[in-house]
């Protein structure tokens, strides 16, 4: 009889994923969602130029193992050199490579309690030890994160700005100041997945080769290419070079590279999309307020909505929306879990949300 000889670490891990996807939900209930506004996808879609570039790609060829043209364009876009940029299979993929480079059995990392869980998933997969600090006023707390990193000798410190799941943000200047207390042996992992949606001044105003930080970016959110899985990181060349030791060199398919390059070059479409995101955030806030809920200020492509009670009540509201065909999500840690998280949607999707929310709230009150 075959016996699978997994490593002791692999044997100890649960067979779970950080998120249950909307497609899985649809299969479970046997019908499509009326409004898929829970996964922070960009429902306004990518640039038509990106769609055309992907359609015209010769798929019989492997993708460029160096993502040369895309890295060159990204370097010009960010005013740096190609040696400062690595392209990978979304931020999730890059986080996996980064953790593989830094984290071994028992190595300490620091994150916030309730922050983006995929980082934790990778850390657990390589045997690291996760240390958490609480949010402060619905914001990740960089001072507390860096203090904890000094306490536990953390190799990596993770923070998203703007934050997921709360949508709150710090100015880049605030983070730069807080980094004065980053321990010398710790690397600051700054997830900027939503930064294109954020106000001016949110980006970190430090040189791209600052050795203390690696910045993660994506084409999944503002650029509307979540299905293509294209992310990139900006860091000092020495750190970028280290990625070549462990990455999947042909992991980026040719169509995704072509689509990302075309999307980057169409900044007019990006500006149009960001305007739609802004208007959708305002509409979500209005719908929430009309129903006695409190929208949190957001610099992302979603809004966290305070349901005014505890996590059980917020979950009941969420369940009521899902039962009515409205896919949303919620934070999983207290006290953030008093909220539901609603992604920006089209007018029709938000009309459906407005129609479903009053009954979902009423159901929750009677639960």
State whether the Cα torsion 286-273-176-241 is positive or negative.
positive
Query: What are the φ and ψ backbone dihedral angles of 108, each rounded to 5 degrees?
Result: -90, 140
Q: What is the pLDDT of residues 71-96, one digit of tens each?
A: 999 999 999 999 999 999 999 999 99
Strands 35-36 and 85-88: unpaired
Per-residue pLDDT at 29: 85
Token digits of residue 273: 């999309």
pLDDT at residue 171 greater than cutoff 80: yes
Per-residue pLDDT at 193: 98
pLDDT at residue 12 greater than cutoff 90: yes
pLDDT at residue 186 greater than cutoff 90: yes
Q: What is the pLDDT of residues 239-249, one digit of tens each?
A: 999 999 999 99
Per-residue pLDDT at 81: 98
C-beta separation of 345 from 310 below 8 A: no
- 339 contact partners, CB below 8 Å, separation of at least 6: 165, 166, 296, 304, 305, 306, 307, 314, 330, 331
Distance CA 178, CA 186 (A): 13
Per-residue pLDDT at 21: 86
Distance CA 202, CA 167 (A): 13
Q: What is the pLDDT of residues 33-48, one digit of tens each?
A: 999 999 999 999 999 9
Domain extent listing, the chain: 8-45+268-365, 49-266
pLDDT at residue 1 greater than cutoff 80: no
C-beta separation of 211 from 242 below 8 A: no
Per-residue pLDDT at 130: 98
pLDDT at residue 18 greater than cutoff 90: no
Cα angle 205, 132, 341 (rounded to 5 degrees) comes to 75
What mean pLDDT is predicted for residues 339-347? 98
Per-residue pLDDT at 25: 86
What is the share, in percent, of the chain residues with pLDDT greater than 90? 95
Per-residue pLDDT at 99: 98
DSSP letter assigned to residue 63: P
State whether the Cα torsion 222-228-231-237 is positive or negative.
negative
Closest to 260 measured CA to CA, from 96, 94, 89, 119: 89
Q: What is the pLDDT of residues 192-230, one digit of tens each?
A: 999 999 999 999 999 999 999 999 999 999 999 999 999
Per-residue pLDDT at 247: 97
Query: What 3-state DSSP class applies to 192?
Result: coil
C-beta separation of 128 from 110 below 8 A: no
Residue 367's pLDDT band (cuts 50, 70, 90):
confident
pLDDT at residue 20 greater than cutoff 90: no
Per-residue pLDDT at 276: 98
Per-residue pLDDT at 135: 98
Token digits of residue 324: 């009515």
Per-residue pLDDT at 17: 75
What mean pLDDT is predicted for residues 96-112? 98
Query: What 3-state DSSP class applies to 295?
Result: strand
Per-residue pLDDT at 19: 79
Query: What 3-state DSSP class applies to 69?
Result: helix
Q: What is the pLDDT of residues 125-167, one digit of tens each?
A: 999 999 999 999 999 999 999 999 999 999 999 999 999 999 9
Per-residue pLDDT at 151: 98
Distance CA 39, CA 315 (A): 16
Per-residue pLDDT at 125: 96
C-beta separation of 139 from 336 below 8 A: no
CATH class of 49-266: alpha beta
If residue 77 lies in a helix (H) or strand (E), which one and from where to where? helix 68-78
Q: CATH code for 8-45+268-365? A: 3.90.1150.10
């Amino acid at each position: 009889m075959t016996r699978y000889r997994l490593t002791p670490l692999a044997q100890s891990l649960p067979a779970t994923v950080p998120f249950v996807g909307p497609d899985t939900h649809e299969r479970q209930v046997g019908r499509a969602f009326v409004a898929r506004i829970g996964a922070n996808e960009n429902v306004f879609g990518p640039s038509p130029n990106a769609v055309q570039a992907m359609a015209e790609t010769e798929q019989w060829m492997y993708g460029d193992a160096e993502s040369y043209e895309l890295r060159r364009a990204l370097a010009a876009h960010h005013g740096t050199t190609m040696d400062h940029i690595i392209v990978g299979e979304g931020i999730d993929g890059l986080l996996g490579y980064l953790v593989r480079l830094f984290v071994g059995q028992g190595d300490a990392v620091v994150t916030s309690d309730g922050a983006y869980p995929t980082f934790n998933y990778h850390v657990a997969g390589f045997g690291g030890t996760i240390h958490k600090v609480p949010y402060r006023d619905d914001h990740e707390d960089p001072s507390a994160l860096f203090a904890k990193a000094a306490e536990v000798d953390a190799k990596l410190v993770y923070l998203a700005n703007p934050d997921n799941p709360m949508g709150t943000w710090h100015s880049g200047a605030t983070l730069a100041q807080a980094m004065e207390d980053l321990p010398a042996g710790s690397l600051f992992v700054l997830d900027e997945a939503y930064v294109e949606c954020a106000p001016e001044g949110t980006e970190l105003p430090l040189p791209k080769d600052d050795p203390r930080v690696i910045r993660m970016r994506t084409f999944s959110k503002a650029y509307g290419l979540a299905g293509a899985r294209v992310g990139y990181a900006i860091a000092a060349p020495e750190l970028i070079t280290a990625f070549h030791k462990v990455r999947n060199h042909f992991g980026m398919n040719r169509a995704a590279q072509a689509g990302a390059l075309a999307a980057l070059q169409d900044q007019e479409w990006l500006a149009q999309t960001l305007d739609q995101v802004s208007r959708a955030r305002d509409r979500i806030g209005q719908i929430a307020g009309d129903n006695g809920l409190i929208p949190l200020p957001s610099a992302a492509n979603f809004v966290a909505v305070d349901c005014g009670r505890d996590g059980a009540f917020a979950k009941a509201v969420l369940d009521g929306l899902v039962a009515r065909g409205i896919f949303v999500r919620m934070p999983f840690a207290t006290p953030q879990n008093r909220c539901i998280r609603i992604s920006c949607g089209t007018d029709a999707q938000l009309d459906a949300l407005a129609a479903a929310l009053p009954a979902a709230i009423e159901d929750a009150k009677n639960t």
